[in-house]
Amino acid sequence: MLKFSDFLLCSAVLCLCPCRISLKKGLSIRDQMRAAGVLDDFLKHIKYDSVKKYQPSQGSVVREPIANHLDSSYFGEISIGEPPQKFLVLFDTGSSNLWVPSMDCKSPACFNHAKFQPSASATFTPRGQSYNVSYGSGSVTIVLGSDTLRIQSITVTQQELGLSQEEPTQPFYFAAFDGILGMAFPSLAVGGMATALGGMLEQNQLAEPVFSFYFSRQPTYDYGGELLLGGVDPQLFQGDITWAPVTQRLYWQVALEEVAIGQSATGWCSQGCQAIVDTGTFLLTVPQEYIENILEALGAQETSYGYAVDCSDTQSMPQLTFGIGGARLALPPSAYVLNSNGYCTLAIEATYLPSQDGQPLWILGNVFLKEFYTVFDMANNRVGFAPSA
């Protein structure tokens, strides 16, 4: 789920198992489930669209390095076709379609990016259908095809993908990545496209039906973090993982039980709140009805460059605490205040998506995810959080 403001700021199955399981460092998910006596039920009843066909012993755990551009977007390398054509893609848990630029794209945004050449791939099959894929920043027009997708040692044959025909200049002209690999639920995919994760599961490419993200608190272009496909890395987090069930299988959306500013509970979620866990959004987004309250509490002033705060006040600003899965996940001011050469702004904006169920909707973007190693469990339809190492 991508927004141009993210670029502007910095340069711009089983219903849950009968017993709750906390991951311990040193043990795999499967080992802990076996020890808890729930592995057999898990394999018989898993719910994610393609997991029922899954044979977890055949796959692998793949570590995909993530690069960072101007502390605003995170992306990694994939290849498509035979022989492979390489692309940089944003791994986006806020959307579900896979697409890369096409040789037929005439938009300025395509000129300075890698473009897929169907005629150069021996395994490409055209599908012909055309769709518009909408993001917070605008729509991309794609035409469907299928080809071999590779991510490190993962190989998915006949993977459906989109080839962009038109892209909006903002933000894609300025983006350091070429396309997007959506990682949300299949029900969110435009045109009913088969998702890349679905292909990995159907073709038994993952050791476990999970993936996890680590975002560095001090990213560089060469190292912004890691995406693990098929597992978790206990060296990248501290303590146990707190699990929260997905409340709506479109986005990776969980219930937000409470929000506190400093030691004071706000009561904003007394009637329920929802939060989307979104690697494609840089900022923390706040429901529109609470923006003025949070600005006042944090001593921020709205300017044309964002919500400004005094840099000298950062150390004394309160932490923001989010109640998720019965745990309190705290975001320190060092995480939610951006310092650009002595000019400080809040890494906060109003939520730009409508709520699906009427409850206030938050988006936990990269600003939040830098603080918490995040696990996306496709089998149990739940999200796990643990403090990043």
Q: Tens of pLDDT along 231-271?
A: 999 999 999 999 999 999 999 999 999 999 999 999 999 99
Query: In angstroms, what CA-CA distances link 196 with 62, 114, 141, 148, 160?
Result: 14, 20, 19, 11, 8
pLDDT beyond 90 at 42: no
What's the mean pLDDT in 60-77? 89
What's the mean pLDDT in 23-52? 42
Neighbours of 86 (CB within 10 A): 13
Question: Domain residues of the chain, as ranges?
Answer: 20-229, 234-387
Whole-number pLDDT of residue 179? 96
Q: 73: pLDDT confidence band, cut at 50, 70 and 90?
A: confident
Ranges of beta strands (E only) in 123-251 are 125-135, 138-151, 154-166, 179-182, 210-215, 225-229, 242-249
Whole-number pLDDT of residue 60? 78
Least confident of 56-60, 217-221, 235-239, 322-326: 56-60
Whole-number pLDDT of residue 58? 61
pLDDT beyond 60 at 274: yes
Using DSSP, state whether 302 is helix, strand or coil. Answer: strand
Q: Are 349 and 361 in contact (CB under 8 A)?
A: no
Q: Which backbone phi and psi does 317 adopt, to 5 degrees?
A: -75, 150
Q: Which backbone phi and psi does 27 adopt, to 5 degrees?
A: -115, 140
pLDDT beyond 50 at 360: yes
Whole-number pLDDT of residue 38? 40
Fold of 234-387: Cathepsin D, subunit A; domain 1 (2.40.70)
**How far apart are the C-alpha atoms of 365 and 330, rounded to whole Å?**
14
**How far apart are the C-alpha atoms of 329 and 360, rounded to whole Å?**
18
pLDDT beyond 90 at 90: yes
pLDDT beyond 60 at 198: yes
Whole-number pLDDT of residue 2? 62
- CATH number for 20-229: choose from 3.40.50.12160, 3.40.50.720, 3.30.70.100, 2.40.70.10: 2.40.70.10
What is the pairing mode between strands 62-69 and 73-80? antiparallel
Q: Are 187 and 250 in contact (CB under 8 A)?
A: yes
Query: Fold match between 20-229 and 234-387?
Result: yes
Whole-number pLDDT of residue 15? 23
What is the pairing mode between strands 264-265 and 258-261? antiparallel
Q: Are 126 and 118 in contact (CB under 8 A)?
A: yes
Query: 276 or 22: which carries more pLDDT confidence?
Result: 276
Q: 6: pLDDT confidence band, cut at 50, 70 and 90?
A: very low
Mean per-residue pLDDT over the chain, rounded: 87
Q: Are 103 and 118 in contact (CB under 8 A)?
A: yes
The residues assigned a catalytic role are 92, 278
Query: In angstroms, what CA-CA distances link 282 with 52, 55, 136, 255?
Result: 33, 35, 12, 20
